[in-house]
A and B are shown apart, each in its own frame.
Chain A
Amino acid sequence: MPSATLDKALELRSGRERPGQFWKIDLDAIDFSSLKAAAPSDPQIAAPSKPGLIACGLETARRDHAEIFNRAFGSVTGTLNDKFAALSAALCNTGAFIYVPPDQAVDDPIEITYTAKNGALFPHTLVVVDRGARCTVIERIEGESSDTVCGIAEIVAAENASVTYAAEQNLPLESQAFFTRAAAPGKDASVTWCVAEIGAALSVSRIDVLVDQPGVDAHLNGFFFPRENQHVDMVSTIRHNVGESQSQTLIKSAATGRGQARYLGNIRIAPHAQGTEASLRDDALLLSPHAHIDSVPALEIGANDVKAFHGATIGALDESLIFYMESRGIEREAAEKMIALGFFEPVVERFPTAAMRDRLRAALEAKIA
């Protein structure tokens, strides 16, 4: 890997100074230069067999599908000028390439599993969905060791395409996770991000949708739940650069123990992006007196003929709900658990496949126990 690229990445600033009333970790002070990277490898990829569907590792993609691959690889995340994306790109040692040909409907999910062991992982998942095609991708990030994972997920969706990308980061509690997830939907395309940040001591992620074409339907769903000493830093940005598109952002978060989180939810509507409809809803639940969540919705609206909505709540469990359950014979602890799990349910329900939802519910339940 050319060290000039790496040096440039190391020099970039994270740009993550706010929000963070209680936040103490300086993301620009994290030492990436001494990380031991794992040897290059392919992730585990499970895909249904469909004519023309490509699901392979990066080496194969470069060799056998150079034309489509090279045109798209880094085309979205490369424009973000993001420190962690640049690091991941410079040190990339694993990844997957998914290509769905025009008008092909891949209904069964394509599942990609990255497992950290024997060194840091820098995965890059590229999903290219051609005109009128659709697919669902499930990305699981796991670890047998507590090595750092710094990755990219990139979606290039052509006109009328439809993509759901669900990422589940469930690394060991000692590891660090950095993820840049960005999508560039074409005209009338639909893009859905579902992001679950469950594991790692420090989880830093950004999720972007660049709306540069009209008729886009963008959904951004995410949740996180730091417990003990976990720290989560999430930024989501929907950039409405052209009008006549719509986006919905839904983020649910809870924190317990000494868990810390900060979330910045950006909606940017450019001055000429008339007819945009954007909504942002984020709810935060504090389950312990030492837990903190800084949650900031940031709407920048340049156009006048738009519908933009945002709603944010933060608070502890509602005593009147607990009492209602107790009055039905349910013990306080069980009631608290049910209410807290219920709090996440509206976002969990948006993840694809019953198996994934059940896994997420179990992970949430384990955090409350």
Chain B
Amino acid sequence: MSERGLRIHQLRASAGGTQILKGIDLAVEAGHVHALMGPNGSGKSTLAFSLTGHPGFKVESGSVTLDGADLLAMPPDKRAKAGLFLSFQYPAAIPGVKVANFLFAARQALHPGDLPPAKFRALLLEKMDLLDMDPSFMGRYLNDGFSGGEKKRLEMLQLAMLAPKYAILDETDSGLDVDALRAVGESVNAMRASEAGKDTGFLIITHYPRILQYVKPDVVHIMIDGRIVKEGDAELAQRIEREGYDKIREETAQIA
């Protein structure tokens, strides 16, 4: 019997010969919002890349299932087809590939034949409007010459267009001005309110509680040094904002 959720069990992963994830246990529930916080270098992006199958990260042990399917056995594109999405902390620029063409190819790959080009275009324009993106972005080369904030908006546009089952947002809120942050928050909320996105589970990696004001987390997970050391409700994010990670480090060091 398959179990819903993005379920990570005792995940260990390394990069460049160094173990970075040291046994992660974390479950993202369908339709829920999970926040993942942790100091720089604690392994948050490594977790995101290990889940999505980045070739630079080696999973050593543990298991990950997406609605019961063995995620780690799949190549990256199959993971996306299974319903996983990552909003990159540093999205790649691909000169010569136009935003609209790329998005159409991705949408076709994930939902074959479900949107004829004209309807796709209409949907794209609608989602761009929601993110306050100028329609001219459609014809631009993917992330080529985009500002930091524009790249993040484009990640959110892809999220909206691809309607995944589970979405990891790796510091999508970093480097955004207040208006962009609000636009991103509204876009995520619009998605969660929609039929296609109401069951989407979110893992929002962030350093700031700001984005969590827009998108309320059901659970906040704290990662330190490759381990999940604490879980709590939205208030935990506020506490970290006030106190930093030192207190939590001390507490968890005692437990260990």
Instruction: Give A residues with C-beta under 8 Å from B.
Output: 318-321, 323-332, 334-335, 338-339, 341-346
The A interface, classified by DSSP as helix, strand, loop or mixed, is helix
B109, A328: Cβ atoms under 8 Å?
Answer: yes
Show 25 A/B contacts (Cβ-Cβ < 8 Å), sorted by A.
A319-B56, A323-B76, A325-B102, A327-B79, A327-B80, A327-B85, A328-B85, A328-B102, A328-B109, A328-B158, A329-B81, A329-B109, A330-B109, A331-B77, A331-B109, A335-B77, A338-B94, A338-B97, A341-B96, A341-B97, A342-B95, A342-B96, A345-B96, A346-B95, A346-B96
- Identity of the chain B residue whose Cβ is nearest the Cβ of A324 in the assembled complex: B92
Residues of A within 8 A of B85 (CB): 327-328
- A-B contacts besides A329-B81, A345-B95, 13 pairs, CB < 8 Å: A320-B92, A321-B94, A323-B55, A323-B76, A324-B92, A325-B102, A326-B77, A327-B77, A327-B85, A329-B77, A338-B101, A342-B97, A343-B95
Contacts of B52 in A (CB 8 A): 327
B184 at the interface (CB under 8 A from A): no
- CB distance A330 to B106 under 8 Å? yes
User: By the criterion CB–CB under 8 Å, are B141 and A323 in contact?
Assistant: no
- Min distance, Cβ A319 to any Cβ of chain B, angstroms: 6
Is B91 touching A324 in the complex (CB atoms < 8 A)? Answer: yes
**Identity of the chain A residue whose Cβ is nearest the Cβ of B112 in the assembled complex:** A329
Whether the pair B97, A339 counts as a contact (CB closer than 8 A) is yes
Interface size on B, residues (CB 8 A): 29
Q: How far is the CA of A325 from the CA of B101 in the complex (A)?
A: 12
C-alpha gap A342/B140 in the complex (Å): 12
Q: Which residues of A contact B110 (CB under 8 A)?
A: 328-329
Query: Within 8 Å of chain A (Cβ to Cβ): is B214?
Result: no
Q: What 7 pairs between A and B have smallest CB-CB spacing?
A: A342-B96, A345-B96, A329-B80, A329-B109, A326-B76, A328-B106, A342-B97
Question: A338–B96 Cα gap in the complex (Å)?
Answer: 9
A330 touches B95 (CB 8 A): no
Give complex CA distance A175, B162 in Å: 47
Q: Bound complex: CA of A65 vs CA of B76, how far in Å?
A: 65
Tell me the bound Cα distance from A334 to B88 in angstroms. Answer: 21
Q: How far does the Cβ of B231 sit from chain A's closest Cβ, in whole Å?
A: 27
Within 8 A of A (CB), among B72-111: 75-77, 79-81, 85-86, 88, 91-92, 94-97, 101-102, 105-106, 109-110
A327 near B76 with CB under 8 A, answer yes
Evaluate contact between B75 and A332: CB separation under 8 angstroms: yes
Q: Which residues of A are found within 8 Å of B54, using beta-carbon distances?
A: 323
Complex Cα spacing A343 to B97, Å: 8
| 214-239 of chain B: CB within 8 A of chain A | none
Shortest CB distance B113–A (Å): 14
CB closest residue in chain A, given B92: A324
Most B Cβ at <10 Å: residue of A323, A334, A338: A323
| Contacting residues, chain B, for A319 (C-beta < 8 A) | 55-56
CB contacts (< 8 Å) of B158 on chain A: these are: 328
When the two chains form their complex, are residues A339 and B55 in contact, meaning their CB atoms are under 8 A apart? no
